[in-house]
Amino acid sequence: MQETWRWYGALDKITLADVAQTAATGIVNALHEIPYGEVWKAEQISARAGEIRAAGFDWSVVESLPIHERIKRGEGDLTQLFANYRQSMANLAAAGVQVVCYNFMPLLDWTRTDLAAPVARGGTCLRFEAYRMAAFEIHMLGRTAAEDDYPEDVRKRAAIWFQRSSHADRDSLLHAIMSGLPGAYDRYDVDGLKQALTLYDGFDRAALRANYKRFLDEVIPAAEELGMRFCVHPDDPPRDILGLPRIVSNADDIDWIMSSVDSNANGLTLCSGSLGANPANDVPAIAAAHADRIHFAHLRNVRKDPDGAFEEAAHLEGDTDMVALIKVLLSEENRRRNAGLSDHNIPFRPDHGHELLTDIGQGAFPGYPMIGRLRGLAELRGVISALSHGV
């Protein structure tokens, strides 16, 4: 497996020289400064690729080539947006970048309510607290339908938290929820989020699936021609949120996606943390079922609570059997190698590490500290090395 590291370019406090000391060989990167829907120009891609390669890395994966919200909503004439997307794909392929990780989550990316929840023995982690999310939806957004999305005990705790919270507490919660949006763009305030949500009024799971199928039909044939591999990232958290449907949350969803366009170019980013936050998901079993379509892996772990809350655990300490999962990935690599496939290596990266030691206060992107991810990479490297002797 190829060890990679997510790097945010000029927006990142962590430099490529820092990353080099991890011994990872690949970089996962995107041109976050380009607005959604615009073409990634060849010269922009070439400049970024040159920077990465000059530092001694491969640009292993694009994460991500974002999908405009109008495509997700199926709104209006999308001809130009799809043409722009395919042109960006062609420009990436010309620069030698072949793997594209993306998601189809409406409006928001990954969502947490706490960016610095305390960890036993020191450090902090990302956490999704069910009652705080309920407080945000019910009491701050005033989304009355959210009452039906949370059990009574969670709603009661949400009401108590809201009554006791200060303006600073509420601002902190909003900031945490908005922090999953990548890039350098402004985040929503409460009124802005309310307005954005109106664009999805009456939008349901069937509508989102139809628009996703259209997206796949528009881009996967181009990916096949370009020799590219697309890999969808699961929803995070894997549940409907803010009244918006999520359609990449469980084994049935992934079965539907892989069968809807049956092509090796239509693949999966195996994110063990996102899938692991759903109690119904057996992550190693999902990986085994779709091993031949896994083109990228995010290896992280979560610890779940009965009320729907979860937090980022150490990579080998959460609810997912990481050793069993890595064994599936190594076995698939071995199958590809024996089949003579040149691209048999599956790139992976340690994901959402704890903030530890000098990470704290450094201003790294939430979930992407230096030392916490390096600890995760070291642990994963050890598992891979041990298992490789038996694969």
Please give the positions annotated as active site. Answer: 233, 271, 298, 351-352, 368
- How many Cα atoms sit within 13 Å of 338 on the Cβ side? 7
Pick the closest to residue 233 from 188, 274, 183 (CA basis): 274
Rg of the chain, C-alpha, whole Å: 20
Which phi and psi angles does 180 have, rounded to 5°? Answer: -75, -10
Q: How far apart are CA 267 and CA 99, in angstroms?
A: 10
Q: How far apart are CA 214 and CA 206, in angstroms?
A: 12
Q: Strands across the sheet with 124-128, in order?
A: 114-118, 124-128, 310-313, 301-304
Chain center to CA of 1: 19
Q: How far apart are CA 3 and CA 345, in angstroms?
A: 10
Token pair belonging to 347:
């790139």
Q: How far apart are CA 33 and CA 112, in angstroms?
A: 23
Q: How far apart are CA 278 and CA 343, in angstroms?
A: 31
Token pair belonging to 306:
């009965």
